[in-house]
Structure 1
Amino acid sequence: MTNDPRTLYARTAAQFAGLLKTVTPDELERSTPCTEYDARQLISHVVGATRRFAVIGEGGDGMAVPTHTDGVADEGWSDAFEEVLRRATAAWADDAKLAGEYTVPWGRVPGAAAVGGYVMETLTHTWDLSRALGHPVPLDEELALAVLPLAQQALPADRRGEEVPFAAVREVPADADAYDRLAAWLGREV
């Protein structure tokens, strides 16, 4: 990943936004590979996590922001995500933010690492939602190729358990695409 992961974040968030526009209300109860969430809960989580990311970038206490969003109508998820995405983009627009120190769910980190973590979060949940929906749109393989090494560095296979909320690394076929390799690294069944 580059020293400035905001471009990757913008591409990842745009990809999630595009996928989200394909979701119909009758698909919101579908199971996802992120076993703790159905599609509605997963979307709610991404909207909430993006709001948290925005608050962190604005200098607020992101850890006080719930990672789920309530009160959104089934047809309103796309607009809700676009709204918090605009806020997050504005919050992280200043280049100086990348060198600052921020408290995020995985510790106190430089701004570039905070943005990188949210790239990984959003991209992984994009795959989760895409899989739940039957892959209605192609995903950008280049994004997964960029994020996979970050995931392998940030979440080594031997650091799974109580402190790290990811299951053990799963096996994937040798010809698995980058999204499946990323999902498997994060403990998802592919």
Structure 2
Amino acid sequence: MTTSTAQQIDPRPLYRDALGWVRGLVDAVPTARYGDPTPCPGFDVRTLVAHVTATVGRAQAVALGAPAVSRPSLIEGIPDTDLAATFARAVDDLAPLWSNDAMLDAPAQVPWGEVPGRGAVWGYLHEALVHGWDLAVATGQDAEADPALATATLAAVVRFLPAEPRGGIVPFGPVVEPAAGAGPTERLANWAGRRR
């Protein structure tokens, strides 16, 4: 996939599918495991779910024409027993906000700069899949999303997120060499600096 191809693809269905996958993972986690560590540095399961919920909120803000950073990067104050339902509501509320095709080419203010709306969706799609992988690995679930979904996302992300520089304003670690036989979701996580 070339950069121009990624710029022409509508990533909204891919993002919807990624969020559906993550939703299933979140729903399957017992609250007793919320304190477990994850491959995402500094995030236990609870914090990871709170963060991925917040990223959906940021995608909502962008859809409403506001800067993504007008929403927090981490939701707080939600009881453990309500966290999965809070994520599910955020996902349900998001899809209608992105229904206008013109939004894909409208400027969007995201933490990584001003990009067309489709660039914002690609970014949040990437985040959903990587954090889904984090959550699945941490909780012993199947860590591979639909292969076609992960493959398409990886092909776009390697063009939008270069291998260098990393750190600082680029909130990912150095690229990790994939293990033999790693699936596309794990390779996407490796590109974001994650390892099992």
Category of TM-score, reference length = shorter chain: over 0.9
TM-score (norm 2): 0.91
Deviation at 1:161, TM superposition (A): 2.9
**Alignment correspondent of 2:67:** 61
Does the 8 A contact of 1:32 with 1:38 survive in 2? yes
Structure 2 portions without partners, runs of 5+: 1-5
Aligned mates of 2:143, 2:109 — CA distance in 1: 34
Over 3 Å counting, the alpha-carbon distance change for 1:105 and 1:137 in structure 2 is closer
Aligned mates of 2:110, 2:12 — CA distance in 1: 16
Runs of 4+ in 1 over 6 A off after TM superposition: none
Over 3 Å counting, the alpha-carbon distance change for 1:137 and 1:167 in structure 2 is closer
Verify: 1:5 aligned to 2:32, yes or no. Answer: no
Structure 1 segment 111-190 matched on structure 2, within 5 A: 111-135=117-141, 139-190=145-196
TM-score (norm 1): 0.94
**Alignment correspondent of 1:73:** 79
Verify: 1:99 aligned to 2:105, yes or no. Answer: yes
Does the 8 A contact of 1:57 with 1:91 survive in 2? yes
**Alignment correspondent of 2:114:** 108
**Alignment correspondent of 1:17:** 23
Deviation at 1:81, TM superposition (A): 1.1
AA matched with 1:135: Q
Aligned mates of 2:57, 2:133 — CA distance in 1: 20
Structure 1 portions without partners, runs of 5+: none
Deviation at 1:138, TM superposition (A): 5.7
Paired residues, number: 190
Which of 131-140 and 149-158 deviates more? Answer: 131-140
Deviation at 1:10, TM superposition (A): 0.6
AA matched with 2:57: R
Deviation at 1:136, TM superposition (A): 5.1
Provide the alpha-carbon RMSD of the alignment: 1.5
Q: Percent identity?
A: 36
